[in-house]
Amino acid sequence: GFKMGIVGLPNVGKSTLFNALTRTAAAQAANFPFCTIEPNVGEVAVPDARLDKLAAIAGSKQIIPTRMTFVDIAGLVKGASKGEGLGNQFLANIREVDAIAHVLRCFEDGDVTHVEGRVDPVADAEVIETELMLADLDSIEKRRAGLVRKLKGGDKEAVQADRLLALAQAVLEEGKPARTVEIDDDDLKAWKMLQLLTSKPVLYVCNVEESNAAEGNAHSAAVAEMAAAEGAGSVVISAQIEEEISQLDPEEAFVFLEEMGLEEAGLDRLIKAGYELLHLETYFTVGPKEARAWTIPSGTPAPKAAGVIHGDFEKGFIRAETIAYEDFVTLGGEQKAKDAGKMRAEGKGYVVKDGDVLHFLFNT
């Protein structure tokens, strides 16, 4: 599954948000009890109204949403790259995530101490980013030094790694994160394997007070501008509202959101923004037993998409019987879509589209 790391300075609302996200009733969906793997790791069900609709049409007994993992990465402070705070421990945590949700304090509250003594989310973002950039520079130097012998031997992988490390080093030395390097498709895999902290996509999470939850405020507007300039995402959330919602059942939560003038809970918006940032899509498998959602990167060919369910599905892939979500819903289910000629037999070259309802045929 996909993993999002929650980072931010102390006292910005990371734990409040993490706890709310992982405890909320919606996140726990009937057949998917929220599970705590470690105290700071939580899996949440990805809310998707389409899945409920498909299940209702097919009369599926079970609804199984796809899921996303959140990791609360505490201990990031100024000086972390030099081992202050929890130092290297949390840097290792960040290496393992697919994307970073960077929580920024956009609320004013004299009772909550700000570590820098002022509310300035754009400056806070820079503090954290600087630590991550310093940590990257440090690890790049070490890794390049470690590659010297292999380079002399002409080792192809080492040559590629060193070339990519040098590209990253150059932008980092200019004070820019590694994600600003443009990487050719041929290099993408090796680039990802470098696991540079500042190469991960970033989603800024503006934590505002309750009264600003719908519209945001001047702080969150400044963050949105920064995000747009650097190709990052941003969402406005009130961690305190999320905490209140997490204690309500879904119907109560719906009423509460309406009263606050909000269309969706923060969890929904956060996950949607995460999907966008990571270029993720969802396809469905639907039958009388269960309706289930699966996550894939956009542009995934059918056999690889099948492999998300089981490795054998990918190895023995024959074809995918495919119905577009809209057809499934407007025509009223699989049989009716089939009768209307809307079920397609797609082969190995088919690129799965968001919302496809798939049935895989494979050799064992």
Binding site for ligand GDP (CB under 6 A): 8, 10-16, 107, 109, 112, 207, 209, 238-240
Q: At what angle are helices 121-152 and 156-173 packed, to 10 degrees?
A: 150
CB of 75 to ligand GDP, least distance (A): 10
- Segment (H or E) for 340: none
| Helix/strand/coil for 108 | coil
CB of 230 to ligand GDP, least distance (A): 22
| Helix/strand/coil for 60 | coil
Number of other residues whose CB lies within 10 A of the CB of residue 58: 21
CB of 11 to ligand GDP, least distance (A): 4
Judging by beta carbons within 10 Å of its beta carbon (0-12, 13-18, 19+), is residue 142 exposed, middle or buried? Answer: exposed
97-100-101-104 Cα dihedral, nearest 10 degrees: 140
Residue 15 assigned to a binding site: yes
User: Would you list the DSSP string of 266-277?
Assistant: HHHHHHHHHHHH
CB of 260 to ligand GDP, least distance (A): 13
Residue 16 assigned to a binding site: yes
In the complex with ligand GDP, the residue whose CB is nearer, 8 or 177, is 8
Question: DSSP code of 186?
Answer: G
DSSP strand pairing (202-207 vs 99-105): parallel
Between CA 52 and CA 49 the distance in angstroms is 5
CB of 168 to ligand GDP, least distance (A): 29
CB of 206 to ligand GDP, least distance (A): 10
In the complex with ligand GDP, the residue whose CB is nearer, 69 or 238, is 238
In the complex with ligand GDP, the residue whose CB is nearer, 109 or 339, is 109
CB of 342 to ligand GDP, least distance (A): 47
Residue 11 assigned to a binding site: yes
CB of 89 to ligand GDP, least distance (A): 16
In the complex with ligand GDP, the residue whose CB is nearer, 210 or 326, is 210
Tokens of 195: 């696991």
In the complex with ligand GDP, the residue whose CB is nearer, 93 or 240, is 240
Residue 75 assigned to a binding site: no
Phi-psi label, residue 83: left if phi above 0, alpha if psi -120 to 50, beta otherwise: left
- Cα–chain center distance at 163: 28
In the complex with ligand GDP, the residue whose CB is nearer, 14 or 50, is 14
Residue 348 assigned to a binding site: no
In the complex with ligand GDP, the residue whose CB is nearer, 207 or 246, is 207
Largest CA distance in the chain: 67
49 CB contacts (<8 Å, ≥6 apart)? none
In the complex with ligand GDP, the residue whose CB is nearer, 18 or 284, is 18
Number of other residues whose CB lies within 10 A of the CB of residue 37: 10
Cβ 26 vs Cβ 251: under 8 Å: no
CB of 267 to ligand GDP, least distance (A): 15
Between CA 102 and CA 24 the distance in angstroms is 20
Q: Is the dihedral of CA 230, 235, 236, 240 positive or negative?
A: negative
Tell me the one-letter amino acid at 184: D
Tokens of 122: 């754009």
Residue 13 assigned to a binding site: yes
User: Binding site for ATP: residue ranges?
Assistant: 11-16
User: Binding site: residue ranges?
Assistant: 11-16
